[in-house]
């Protein structure tokens, strides 16, 4: 999809999707996903395959035993999660490495996993949910690549993402949520994932889902993941608030989020040395 002309006028480049991820997207769009083709595609890029294996062997996934091939990773985790990790590695690769971006990518890994699994528990498009979590803060990387020194100053000064978005508007005429949504669009992500990225700052700051959207479930999942990552004690309150706005059962939403939280905590515990 074309990038918003307003962003073009600001001369802020939105990176193109790498060829390997374009091919992966086409494979995943097929009705019957060819697992061998997915595995072969990822494995054909040695740098990408190595990064994927390093990621899936981290404590975040809590696998028993070390996975040594992409095919093994798919067997243990499933196609969606391995494809999501591949997208994560591909996304990181289009931006220059920088210490300031390390926390962005670390949160993206956890948020994507949380949102994908909550989406699966609630029967809300887990691929789009995972993608939304992964791309939520990617607009920060776009702005950092555009102007490292100026953006580094904003990151240090901002109290939170809402404050950062206002500073970004003042400095660049656009904020990371809009840029992140533009990147999602240009990479062909589902509209519901794009919308979640576009509105995540507002949703996390207010607990209000954008009523202009016909489908708000992924936005609600974003709010749940944010609560789990920043203040788990507020999860019940957040679930009660956002579930009705997305036409979801608050009880089922909370049950699903708690189950995913327990899975992640158990995985992290297994990954810690005795």
Q: Could you please report the per-residue DSSP string of 87-131?
A: HHHHHHHTS---GGGHHHHHHHHHHHHHHHHHHHHHTS-HHHHHH
Positive or negative CA dihedral for 103, 198, 21, 73?
A: positive
Report the C-alpha dihedral over residues 154, 208, 250, 193, rounded to 10 degrees. Answer: -60
CA nearest to 143, candidates 131, 154, 128: 154
pLDDT, residue 51, reads: 87
**3-state class of 164 per DSSP?**
helix
**Mean pLDDT for back-to-back runs of 10 residues, the chain (274 residues):** 50 86 89 88 89 87 84 87 90 93 94 94 94 96 95 96 96 94 93 96 96 94 96 95 96 95 81 45
Cα–Cα dist 81/106, whole Å: 16
Residues in Cβ contact with 54 at an 8 Å cutoff, skipping those fewer than 6 apart: none
Residues in Cβ contact with 12 at an 8 Å cutoff, skipping those fewer than 6 apart: 142, 143, 146, 172, 174, 179
Q: Where are the domains of the chain?
A: 1-13+98-274, 17-93
Q: Are the C-beta atoms of 152 and 144 separated by less than 8 Å?
A: yes
In this prediction the pTM is 0.88
Cα–Cα dist 175/151, whole Å: 11
- Record the tokens describing residue 235, joined without a space: 């999860």
CA distances from 110 to 46, 104, 134, 138 (A): 24, 10, 8, 14
The domain defined by 1-13+98-274 carries CATH number 1.10.3720.10: no
């Amino acid at each position: 999809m074309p990038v918003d002309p307003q962003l073009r006028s600001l001369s802020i480049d939105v990176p193109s999707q790498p060829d390997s991820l374009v091919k992966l997207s086409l494979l995943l769009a097929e009705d019957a996903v060819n697992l061998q083709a997915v595995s072969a595609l990822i494995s054909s890029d040695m740098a990408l395959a190595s990064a994927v294996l390093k990621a899936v062997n981290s404590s975040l996934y809590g696998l028993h035993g070390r996975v040594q091939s992409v095919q093994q990773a798919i067997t243990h985790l499933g196609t969606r999660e391995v494809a999501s990790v591949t997208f994560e590695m591909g996304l990181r690769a289009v931006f220059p490495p920088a210490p300031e971006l390390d926390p962005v990518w670390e949160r993206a890994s956890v948020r994507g996993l949380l949102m994908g699994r909550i989406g699966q528990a609630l029967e809300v498009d887990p691929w789009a949910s995972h993608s939304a979590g992964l791309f939520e803060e990617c607009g920060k990387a776009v702005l950092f690549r555009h102007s490292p020194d100026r953006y580094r100053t904003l990151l240090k000064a901002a109290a939170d993402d809402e404050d950062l978005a206002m500073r970004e508007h003042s400095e660049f005429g656009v904020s990371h949520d809009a840029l992140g949504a533009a990147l999602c669009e240009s990479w062909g992500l589902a509209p519901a994932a794009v919308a979640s990225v576009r509105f995540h700052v507002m949703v996390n700051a207010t607990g209000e889902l954008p009523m202009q959207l016909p489908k708000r479930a992924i936005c609600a999942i974003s709010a749940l993941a944010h609560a789990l990552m920043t203040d788990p004690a507020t999860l019940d309150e957040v679930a009660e608030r956002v579930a009705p706005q997305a036409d979801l059962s608050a009880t089922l939403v909370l049950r699903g989020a708690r189950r995913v939280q327990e899975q992640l905590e158990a995985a992290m515990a297994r990954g810690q040395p005795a």
